[in-house]
């Protein structure tokens, strides 16, 4: 890395880090004041509050990183424009593309960091924050033990379990219904009084298996005791707590989508969430494309205009993000277009700005 590249990257990272720390502090303080009554009413120890906000840091970080990156670009390049450093660089034969090369490379690196957070760290942090807030701070009881009542479980292979009573320790189900779907259509249904876990298999007792044929015909076959090798779920699987989509890692979200699709459920919202795990982190690179041509506009106005411009652009980006999400959830836009909508708009604006900027 040349001296010029190091200087440009350092000029970008210094205001970026400052903006990140400042925004994180503001977000935590604002949220703290909103939840202060809850903390006081439940006599929460300071350690639990600190642990809660530490768990929320990955989500807060990924949320403010694009705006902080834009502030870094506007402050760094805008400052160089005011000090005539950009003019000196171009006068010495260095093109605008060469000047921006290390800045764009830093944007790609920031996007990859954001992607790492979005794929794994953010959902884990969200899950931990919810656990702390619900069970430590608000004192709600955890679902403990090995018994469940009125249990619904989405299994593998398009199977959906409805269990009136489940005893995981004894490996026993009572009032069991297992619905088997294929391409969104119910094809088999098992109804049994009990199901016992033995020899690494579920043995269903005193029940019927129904086969649903085309044209509405139904074949019912009674049985006293029968095993179904295709049912691979073990007792501990039914004791797992189902997470919310924003608490699932990308791998868990993909597995949940496959199970939901196989059981005939609608995965449109889940597909939008999945694509947004990829699209949002790349906003860091895209705002650099948009912000670089705007740096010259704040040459005489100082950092105040740059800060205000970054907030306005960030606000517009998040509005487009919510619009895309809403249209994607409703099915008006394909999930991939809905998730990447703000990025596509900002790329188009950034390319237009580059085209009108002197190189």
**Residue at 245 is within a domain:** no
DSSP, collapsed to helix, strand or coil, labels residue 213 as coil
**Residue at 11 is within a domain:** yes
If you search the block for the tokens 């929320």, which residue do you land on? Answer: 56
Q: Which of 83-92, 250-259, 265-274 has the lowest mean pLDDT?
A: 83-92
151 and 235 share one domain: yes
**Residue at 71 is within a domain:** yes
Residue percentage of the chain with pLDDT more than 90 = 41
- pLDDT band of 65, cuts 50, 70, 90: very high
118 and 67 share one domain: yes
281 and 301 share one domain: yes
**Residue at 48 is within a domain:** yes
168 and 270 share one domain: no
Instruction: Name the residue range of residue 88's domain.
Output: 3-139+264-356
* pLDDT digits 0-9 by tens, 44-54: 899 999 999 99
**For residue 140, which phi and psi values (nearest 5 degrees)?**
-70, 140
Max alpha carbon distance in the chain (Å)? 90
Residue percentage of the chain with pLDDT more than 70 = 94
- pLDDT beyond 80 at 355: no
- pLDDT beyond 90 at 340: yes
**For residue 314, which phi and psi values (nearest 5 degrees)?**
-60, -40
- pLDDT band of 296, cuts 50, 70, 90: low
* pLDDT digits 0-9 by tens, 220-261: 889 999 999 888 888 888 887 778 888 888 888 888 888 888
**Residue at 215 is within a domain:** yes
- Which tokens belong to 83? 């000090």
Of the candidates 61, 62, 60, 69, the one whose C-alpha atom is nearest the C-alpha of residue 16 is 69
Of the candidates 337, 195, 222, 318, the one whose C-alpha atom is nearest the C-alpha of residue 272 is 337
**Residue at 246 is within a domain:** no
> What average pLDDT is seen over the chain?
86
Per-residue DSSP letter, 229 = T
- pLDDT beyond 70 at 299: no
The pLDDT of residue 111 is 93
236 and 303 share one domain: no
Q: How many domains does the chain have?
A: 2
């Amino acid at each position: 890395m040349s001296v010029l590249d190091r200087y440009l990257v350092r000029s970008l990272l210094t205001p970026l880090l400052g903006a990140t720390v400042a925004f994180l502090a503001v977000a935590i303080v604002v949220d703290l004041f909103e939840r202060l009554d809850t903390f006081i009413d439940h006599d929460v120890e300071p350690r639990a509050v600190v642990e809660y906000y530490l768990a929320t840091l990955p989500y807060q970080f990924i949320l403010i990183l694009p705006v902080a990156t834009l502030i870094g670009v506007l402050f760094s390049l805008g400052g160089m424009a005011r000090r005539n450093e950009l003019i000196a660089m171009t006068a010495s034969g260095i093109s605008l593309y060469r000047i921006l090369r290390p800045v764009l490379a830093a944007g790609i690196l920031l996007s990859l960091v954001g992607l790492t957070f979005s794929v794994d760290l953010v959902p884990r942090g969200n899950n931990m924050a919810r656990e702390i807030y619900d069970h430590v701070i608000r004192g709600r009881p955890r679902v403990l033990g090995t018994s469940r009542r009125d249990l619904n479980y989405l299994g593998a292979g398009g199977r959906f379990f409805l269990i009136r009573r489940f005893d995981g320790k004894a490996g026993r189900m009572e009032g069991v219904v297992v619905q088997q779907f294929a391409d969104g259509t119910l094809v088999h249904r098992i109804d049994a009084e009990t199901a016992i876990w033995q020899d690494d298999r579920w043995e269903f007792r005193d029940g019927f298996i129904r086969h649903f044929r085309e044209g509405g015909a139904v074949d019912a076959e009674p049985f006293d005791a029968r095993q179904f090798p295709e049912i691979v779920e073990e007792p501990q699987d039914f004791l797992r707590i189902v997470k919310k989509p924003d608490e699932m890692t990308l791998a868990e979200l993909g597995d949940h989508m496959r199970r939901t699709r196989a059981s005939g459920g609608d995965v449109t919202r889940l597909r939008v969430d999945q694509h947004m795990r990829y699209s949002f982190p790349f906003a860091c690179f895209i705002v650099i494309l948009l912000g670089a041509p705007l740096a010259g506009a704040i040459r005489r106005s100082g950092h105040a205009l740059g800060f205000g411009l970054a907030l306005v652009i960030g606000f517009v980006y998040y509005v487009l993000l919510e619009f895309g999400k809403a249209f994607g959830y409703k099915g008006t836009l394909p999930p991939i277009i809905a998730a990447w909508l703000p990025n596509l708009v900002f790329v188009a604006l950034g390319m237009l700005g580059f085209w009108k900027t002197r190189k």
